[in-house]
Amino acid sequence: MPLTKESARQLARLSEQDKVLDALQLELDKIPKAIAEIQARIEARKVRLTEIRGRANQVGLQKKDSESKMAAKEGEIKKHSQELNLVKTNDAFRALQTEIDKGKVEVGDLETEILTLMDQLDQLAKEEKAAAAEIKAEESEDLAEIQAFQKDKAALDAKFGAETQKRDGLKAGIEEDVLKHYDHLRKRKPGSPALAPILKNMCGGCRMTLPPQFVVEVVKAKAIQTCESCHRILYLPEAAGAVAPAPAEAKPAS
Ligand SMILES: [Zn+2]
């Protein structure tokens, strides 16, 4: 796997281009998450409205139940009141009167309960109105925001396509096996540069000191040399078109 100077130069250009693509990809990756957050917000508001309506329904049913219990109780009281005129003994009269008094207390309790439930229904009606108003006020804004993100995505996709074409052009001057190795490294660590310049006998990627013989090998440019620590392909910055200043000892002999 020879890494000629021309090849190294082209590889450095490719690596720069991949930085552009990585940055675009990072922007693209943010969009689905942002859209999902907005959609969750929209959904949460709808769920809240449904919950309020469900609670109002339940309270309404409770109120109906208490009302029918009260009506039944009032019916009993009325019946007992009529029976008062028919009883023959004092004991029977007192027993009926006790029943009537007990019934009246129960009716009073049911009335209080119904009033409480009516208060709850009022409160829930207000909450429902507020929740519905919130949906009306914010949903169109949220949907517009989603559309804006989708527009951004379309623009980024187009840019990504154009930059990918540029990348394809840069691949032309690089040997296939070098390229394979480079792509393999990039696939292993997406978003991280697969290429590192040698800076003062150090790997420019991970800062590990490289053995002098190693640097000599890179200078000879006979084969690809990778950093033992981070596995990036090493190159001499000045050989690749001076991406960064190189120390004297790392300069090629020729
Ligand atoms: Zn390294």
Confidence (pLDDT) at 168: 93
pTM: 0.68
Q: Which of 231, 201, 194 is nearest to 218 (CA)?
A: 201
Distances (CA, A) of 238 to 49, 193, 195, 228: 65, 18, 14, 22
CA of 233 to the centre of ligand 1 (A): 8
CA of 210 to the centre of ligand 1 (A): 9
Which one-letter DSSP state was computed for residue 211? P
Confidence (pLDDT) at 93: 95
CA of 253 to the centre of ligand 1 (A): 23
Of the listed ranges 60-64, 155-159, 181-185, the least confidently predicted one is: 181-185
pLDDT band at 120 (very low <50, low <70, confident <90, very high): very high
Q: Which residue has the tokens 């990778």?
A: 226
CA of 115 to the centre of ligand 1 (A): 76
Would you state the structure tokens that stand for residue 142, as one six-digit string?
């949220």
CA of 15 to the centre of ligand 1 (A): 15
User: For the chain, which domains are there?
Assistant: 5-19+172-250 (1.10.287.1490), 21-170 (1.10.287.1490)
CA of 173 to the centre of ligand 1 (A): 25
Q: Is the pLDDT of residue 243 over 60?
A: no
CA of 192 to the centre of ligand 1 (A): 12
CA of 71 to the centre of ligand 1 (A): 86
pLDDT in tens, 28-58: 999 999 999 999 999 999 999 999 999 999 9
CA of 30 to the centre of ligand 1 (A): 29
Q: Which of 107, 101, 66 is nearest to 80 (CA)?
A: 101
Phi, psi of 12 (to 5 degrees): -65, -40
pLDDT in tens, 122-170: 999 999 999 999 999 999 999 999 999 999 999 999 999 999 999 999 9
What percent of the residues of the chain are helix, what percent strand, and what percent coil, each to the nearest 5? 75, 5, 20
CA of 209 to the centre of ligand 1 (A): 8
CA of 160 to the centre of ligand 1 (A): 28
